[in-house]
Structure 1
Amino acid sequence: MCLVLGLGLIGGAVAGAVINHGPRAARPVADGSPEAFAKARNVWRDTPVDQLFPPTVEEKGGGPGGADRSWTRIGVATPSGCAGAFDPLLQRVITPVGCVRLLRATYVDSTSSTVTTVGLLVTAGEAPAMNALNQRWTAEHLGDRADLLPRPVAFPGTAAASFGDRQRGSWDVQVAADLPFVVYAVSGFADGRTVSAPLPAAKADAAGATSASAQAGLGYDATGLASAVDDRLHAAVAAQLHPTTTPAGPEKH
């Protein structure tokens, strides 16, 4: 796996990650300068794959009804460009910030019933472009649109062997305003069933939601894994930009 991922995504393995998410406060890491963005943009080369995409992720109270949730990584895709990784309209939305590299991994939950692909898009955009995309994403509620979905990564011979576009049940896209990154996750059922009306994580997690995606906790899968990777990404960037105040691990809320 390390050979496939290339130089920089090697060594320094971490056994797993335990995240407890509450309200996510603003966490400015970079000062918005081109120099800071350039350093942050190279973090993926210098950070071990197991640090960005831990082999296991646990979230206390991160499931329906406050149940604990855990996921196991079943595959890591080769770092790539962005062609074919997003629905066409989503590809158009993110085009202004560019695509330097796309990193992706797929996880299965502890019951082997749901699968989730989490992605880290390293953009070419500087602070003004990222801030504009972040504001547009929020103001236009683009995260609620079912025609703006990231695409999953299937791995033959695993629980995600049948994980394709028609199996997408929920998703979460997190656009950074202060860093050149977009983190996302898209979830579905491990048995390959199709979902006719996928729900954004915020709606799938809402109290009283009765769809199969909501009851299966697909929104919790998407948000939990996207947020876990985003936390670890911020920790890695902080360690690179501020080495004298290196954090011990991902931020906990």
Structure 2
Amino acid sequence: MLVAGFGLVSALGGGLLVQHAVRNSDQKIRNKQYSMDLWRNVPVEKMFPAAIGREDPEKKSDGPDDERGWTRAAISSSTSCDAALSGGLVKLAAQRGCVAALRATYVDDTGGTAATVAIIAFRDLSAKEDLGDHIRDGRDKADHVVRALAAPGTQWKDAARTGDGGRAVFDMYTPMFVAVTAGPADGRRPGRLPDPWGNRPLEQKDDRSAWSSTAEGLAENVATRLANQIPKVGA
């Protein structure tokens, strides 16, 4: 009986070890270095999908991903921080160790608004902190933070930039920040409002606010997308 008891204990112990091994095999061990260099490890077309925005409200749960709102119109082959960024952000990014800035331009479904999105990569995780505050503080001065990337079929250029936004990628191992500038796709310059509105600073500020809200929303969309995609690409 004693021998049989030991056999039963051994069998139970072996079963528990097997069960533990199976559970461990399902665990995903985070590759921190992969996330630190995410901009090198993920194809640029995945970082900047062909279309972004909201899912079709009629989409079935098992249907293919099909977002609408913004269509990608151009992607830059350059990763230069100086070439992609402007205003106070280009200086601040350099001070904090910017290693790359990837850009793509999107056009909204109406064809009236263009936006250039910049995904900025740093060496240190702390570098992305408070960059959103810097962008918001510079809005009154029209200190645009991303250089407009020209896109076929539009007149999108630096002079048309009207509003800006930014959002850090919410991931503890990914030192990346998303900055966006938006404006009229037909190249119109944001001008002074006619009187009596043009004499009122608050109204002039509010005229830019809609563009800034658009840029902020797009920055949040892209930053959230990157954070959600990180576990799916081996990070």
User: Aligned to 1:171, what secondary structure does the other structure show?
Assistant: strand
Q: Which residue of 1 aligns with 2:150?
A: 154
Within 5 A, what are the aligned runs for 1:77-96? 77-96=76-95
**Match of residue 228 from structure 2:** 235
TM-score by length of structure 2 reads 0.65
Bigger Rg over Cα? 2
- 1:134 alignment partner AA: E
| 1:153 alignment partner AA | L
Q: Is the 8 A contact 1:97 1:123 kept in 2?
A: yes
Give the aligned residue type for 2:81. Answer: C
For the residue of structure 1 that corresponds to 2:39, the secondary structure is helix
| Residue among 184, 187, 191 paired with 1:192 | 187
Three-state SS of the structure 1 residue aligned to 2:224 is helix
In 1, distance between residues paired with 2:120 and 2:185? Answer: 24
Counterparts of 1:40-55 in structure 2, within 5 Å, are: 40-55=35-50
RMSD: 3.1
Distance (Å, rounded) in 2 between the aligned partners of 1:59 and 1:176? 19
Contact 1:40/1:240 (8 A) holds in 2:
no
Separation (CA, whole Å) in 1 of partners of 2:205 and 2:97: 38
Q: How does 1:1-253 map to 2 (within 5 A)?
A: 36=32, 38-59=33-54, 70-124=69-123, 126-127=124-125, 129-130=126-127, 134-135=129-130, 138=133, 141-145=134-138, 146-147=142-143, 149-155=145-151, 157-159=152-154, 162-176=155-169, 178=172, 179-196=174-191, 211-214=206-209, 217-239=210-232
Any conservation in 2 of the 1:39–1:240 contact (CA below 8 Å)? no
**Secondary structure of 2:129 counterpart:** helix
CA offset at residue 220 of structure 1?
4.0
Higher normalized contact order (CA 8 Å, seq sep 6+, divided by chain length): 1
CA spacing shift, 1:169–1:136, aligned 2, 3 Å = closer
SS in 2 for 1:72: strand
TM-score (norm 1): 0.61
CA contact 2:145–2:179 (8 Å) conserved in 1: no
Q: 1:137 to 1:220 in 2, by over 3 A?
A: closer
User: Counterpart amino acid of 2:95?
Assistant: P
Give the aligned length: 181
Aligned-partner Cα distance in 2 for 1:75–1:81: 16
Q: Which amino acid aligns with 2:225?
A: R
Secondary structure class of the residue paired with 2:94: helix
The percent identity for this pair of structures is 27
Per-residue CA deviation, residues 56-97 of structure 1 (Å, 9 max, x unaligned), is 11237xxxxxxx971111111114111232224222212232
SS at match of 1:115: strand
Render the CA deviation track for 1:216-235: whole Å, top value 9, x for unaligned: x4234312321221112112
Q: 1:240 to 1:228 in 2, by over 3 A?
A: same
8 Å CA contact retained: 1:43, 1:236: no
2:13 corresponds to: none
Distance 1:78 1:136, change over 3 A: closer
Structure 2 CA distance for partners of 1:142 and 1:119, relative to 1, 3 Å: closer
CA deviation after TM superposition for structure 1 residue 211, in Å: 4.7
1:101/1:194 CA distance change after superposition, 3 Å: same
